[in-house]
């Protein structure tokens, strides 16, 4: 992943590009530019909080190890709706700290290991998945507690400092009260291990809060960060700047139709008020402009309307970027014709 300050391939002189060409999608420089767009990460304030907290925990861990002091592991909980940007934030965090932490799972020591919680999320399956993420070829029929004992051994052998669980709300989904308490006890045992304590990075949907709040001892060892929904008015200016940043990265001009508050409000609604989805739509629109018009493109609302139509299968009158009364449209629905209840639903 590259940051905003890194270089991308220089676009060719305009005379080298034919704006009537239909083969921009095969142009190597444009392909490289689109890759660069996908790798550009524009942090939110929530990411800054995550970065600061993670850096502080890591620094304390390093200092305690150097002085031979028993380390008290702390954890971080990222909470937000689907599409809010949690997974991308963790990925970028891992990338940023790649020089301060061993993050390559192929190496002998790996200080940051992360995985997605498997389904079904029984402690046995999660433990087995964690072992595999640690590079241990688990194959057996041991019970959950025995598997987690192996996990703790592997965490120490690989010198793992942080263990990340994405979609961590699934750890307690469809579980009984007893099973949920078992989840909590397992998480605490990783942090409180006297031989090799490990900090957790838990990211997931809002239900994740129920798991952490179930146990006061666990809650006091976890720092919460919530990825909130975008605000239709307060975030307008920031959204306009984001669109400009991506256009600048693509080295294309921006039309006035996407440099105003009305457009930004439509874009926020199209992303269902989630930052991660918004960035995804912008990347798709800018990429579409490049693929259809090359570096001669001028990013406009038309490009956003076209990718929205492709993404949602929406007719023009149900397209957030075209419809007059776009507030009535549910951007999460695919092939929504807006014509009453869906098949199988009550009127």
pLDDT tens-place string over residues 245-280:
999 999 999 999 999 999 999 999 999 999 999 999
- Residue 123's pLDDT band (cuts 50, 70, 90): confident
Reported as a single tens digit per residue, the pLDDT across 272-303 is 999 999 999 999 999 999 999 999 999 999 99
Percent of the chain with pLDDT over 70: 90
Q: What is the pLDDT at residue 343?
A: 43
Q: What is the pLDDT at residue 339?
A: 60
Q: What is the pLDDT at residue 330?
A: 94
Q: What is the pLDDT at residue 11?
A: 56
Q: The pTM is what?
A: 0.82
The span from the first CA to the last CA of the chain, in angstroms, equals: 48
Q: What is the pLDDT at residue 2?
A: 40
Q: What is the pLDDT at residue 16?
A: 42
Residue 139: strand, helix, or coil: coil
Reported as a single tens digit per residue, the pLDDT across 316-336 is 899 999 999 999 999 988 877
Residue 113: strand, helix, or coil: strand
Q: What is the pLDDT at residue 169?
A: 94
Distance from CA of residue 166 to its chain's centroid?
Answer: 9
Q: What is the pLDDT at residue 120?
A: 83
Report, as an integer, the average pLDDT of 60-82.
92
Over 90: is that where the pLDDT of 90 sits? yes
Q: What is the pLDDT at residue 334?
A: 85
Over 60: is that where the pLDDT of 143 sits? yes
- Polymer length in residues for the chain: 347
Report, as an integer, the average pLDDT of 47-61.
96
Distances (CA, A) of 330 to 83, 208, 314, 319, 325: 15, 25, 11, 10, 12
* Interatomic CA distance for residues 242 and 146, integer angstroms: 49
The whole-chain average pLDDT of the chain stands at 89
- Residue 122's pLDDT band (cuts 50, 70, 90): confident
Q: What is the pLDDT at residue 299?
A: 98
Q: What is the pLDDT at residue 19?
A: 45
Report, as an integer, the average pLDDT of 35-54.
93
Report, as an integer, the average pLDDT of 213-232.
94
Over 50: is that where the pLDDT of 4 sits? no
Q: What is the pLDDT at residue 32?
A: 95
28 by Cβ neighbours in 10 Å (0-12 / 13-18 / 19+) ranks as: exposed
Q: Which two tokens mark 157? A: 């052998």
- Residue 43's pLDDT band (cuts 50, 70, 90): confident
> How many other CB atoms are there within 10 angstroms of residue 180's CB atom?
17
């Amino acid at each position: 992943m590259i940051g905003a300050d890194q270089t991308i391939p220089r676009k060719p002189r305009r005379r080298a590009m034919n704006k009537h060409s239909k083969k921009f999608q095969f142009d190597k420089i444009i392909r490289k530019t689109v890759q660069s767009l996908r790798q550009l990460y524009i942090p939110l304030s929530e990411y800054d909080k995550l970065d600061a907290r993670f850096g502080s925990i890591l620094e304390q861990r390093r200092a305690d190890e150097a002085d031979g002091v028993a380390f008290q592991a702390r954890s971080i909980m990222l909470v937000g709706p689907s599409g809010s940007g949690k997974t991308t934030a963790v990925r970028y965090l891992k990338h940023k700290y790649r020089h301060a932490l061993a993050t390559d799972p192929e190496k002998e020591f790996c200080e940051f290991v992360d995985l997605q919680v498997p389904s079904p999320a029984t402690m046995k399956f999660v433990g087995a998945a964690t072992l595999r993420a640690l590079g241990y070829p688990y194959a057996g029929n041991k019970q959950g507690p025995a598997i987690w004992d192996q996990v703790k051994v592997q965490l120490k052998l690989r010198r793992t400092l942080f263990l990340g669980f994405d979609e961590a709300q699934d750890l307690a989904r469809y579980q009984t009260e007893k099973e949920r308490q078992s989840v909590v006890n397992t998480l605490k045992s990783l942090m409180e291990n006297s031989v090799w304590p490990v900090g957790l990075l838990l990211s997931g949907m809002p239900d994740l809060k129920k798991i952490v709040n179930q146990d006061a001892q666990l809650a006091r060892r976890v720092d919460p960060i919530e990825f909130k929904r975008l605000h239709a008015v307060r975030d307008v200016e920031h959204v306009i700047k984001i669109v400009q940043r991506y256009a600048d990265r693509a080295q294309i001009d921006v039309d006035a139709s996407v440099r105003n508050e009305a457009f930004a409000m439509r874009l926020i609604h199209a992303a269902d008020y989630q930052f991660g989805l918004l960035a995804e739509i912008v990347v798709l629109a800018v990429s579409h402009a490049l693929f259809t018009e090359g570096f001669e493109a001028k990013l406009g609302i038309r490009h956003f309307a076209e990718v929205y139509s492709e993404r949602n299968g929406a007719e023009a009158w149900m397209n957030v970027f075209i419809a007059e009364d776009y507030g009535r449209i549910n951007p999460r629905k695919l092939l929504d014709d807006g014509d009453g209840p869906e098949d199988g639903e009550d009127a």
